[in-house]
Amino acid sequence: MFGIKFCYHDAMSDITMTHKKLKVGIVGGTGYTGVELLRLLSVHPNVSLTAITSRGEAGLAVADMFPSLRGYVDLAFSDPEKANLAACDVVFFATPHGVAMNQAQALLDAKVKVIDLAADFRLQDTAVFEKWYKMPHACPTLLADAVYGLPELYREKIKSANIIGNPGCYPTTVLLGLAPLLEQGLLDLNAPIIADAKSGVSGAGRKAEVATLFAESSDNMKAYGLNGHRHHPEIHAQLRHLGGQEPQFIFVPHLIPMIRGMLTTLYVKLSAQAQAMDVQALFEKRYQHERFVDVLPAGVLPETRSVRGSNQIRITLHKQADAGYLTLVVVQDNLVKGAAGQAIQNMNLMFDLPENAGLEVVPLLP
């Protein structure tokens, strides 16, 4: 199956029939994921932006910091202590790890749904969280109610959720790349799953660090996190859940000299059954009704620019017939499907809106 699937086309015509506007708050609106939320939500047909917080920029007009939003967002940043987040229907946390878990209970008590773009609700095991994030978990009792927000895998749970742990960018590429095989038990899990992943500099966040200065990151490429990356336990936990057994997982992330975009190459050993199957057809069938997952025809290789600025993820696969291995290449925009776009996709499901509402963005080219 080639190209984009318009499985929600008819639903789009009904969006304007819904008159209710969700009151939306964003905690941490000055980072890259925060401004990406603003870009997409400012034109969402069912959203009214209500509060955007920033401790350091309180009182500053959002459009003064981000001129691209002039004419789209007329709010000013508010102090987190003074913002009336309890008046919102849903609050997005585009904040560092550890912020959402300290505010989630009060918001839930006020009947406000929570979508956290950091790691506070991605891991169910508090010991693993505390090991990797070097902080105690402030609300472990809420973890049992938190849903891992990968719509293509957990759509039904997301629909009834009050709190979402939005997946990390690297995990989104790995898990959507491997889900059709893991769900059917078609991998030889005695062999390691290898993920060779590359991300643009925006994945490091909007902060001043030497490693992300133009003179340091431009015209350069480097691996990092070989001793352990924080997305490793998140991916490992989901691989174990999908595959039903403990996987061997090798993950090497790289920083590449571009602003946004992510390309992950996966190497896996197929089971004897899968080696005799048409895995291309398996992937096409699994994702045929998924608006934001595009399985490319055999032999077509995805490029990061083919998804830039969009909520699209594209996958290609190539069988190494003689060795019994499969190579998959997955691309996405790390700030959209890898963060803000996926968070909005989750919001749409939580409030029974068309899943593609506010996300019909054609990728930017050139």
What are the boundaries of each domain within the chain?
9-167+338-350, 170-334
The DSSP letter of residue 96 is -
Q: Does the active-site annotation cover 139?
A: no
Q: How many CA atoms lie within 13 A of 306 on its CB side?
A: 17
Q: Count helices and strands (H / E) in the chain.
A: 12, 13
Token pair belonging to 155:
């759509």
Domain 170-334 has CATH 3.30.360.10: yes
As a whole number, mean pLDDT of residues 147-156 equals 98
- Report the DSSP beta bridge partners of residue 197: 253, 264
Q: For residue range 27-77, list pLDDT tens digits in order.
A: 999 999 999 999 999 999 999 999 999 999 999 999 999 999 999 999 999
| Average of per-residue pLDDT across 132-158 | 96
pLDDT at 10 over 50: no
pLDDT at 254 over 50: yes
pLDDT digits (tens, 9 = 90+) for 264-314: 999 999 999 999 999 999 999 999 999 999 999 999 999 999 999 999 999
Catalytic residue among 7, 88, 139, 169: 169
Question: Residue holding tokens 């987190």?
Answer: 80
Q: What percent of the chain has pLDDT over 70?
A: 95
Record the pTM: 0.93
Confidence band for 204, pLDDT divided at 50, 70 and 90: confident
Q: Which CATH superfamily is domain 9-167+338-350 in?
A: NAD(P)-binding Rossmann-like Domain (3.40.50.720)
Length of the chain: 366
Six token digits for residue 6:
């318009």
Q: How confident is the model at residue 209 (pLDDT cuts 50, 70, 90)?
A: confident
163-179 as b/e: b if 16+ CB within 10 A: bbbbbbbbbbbbbbbbb
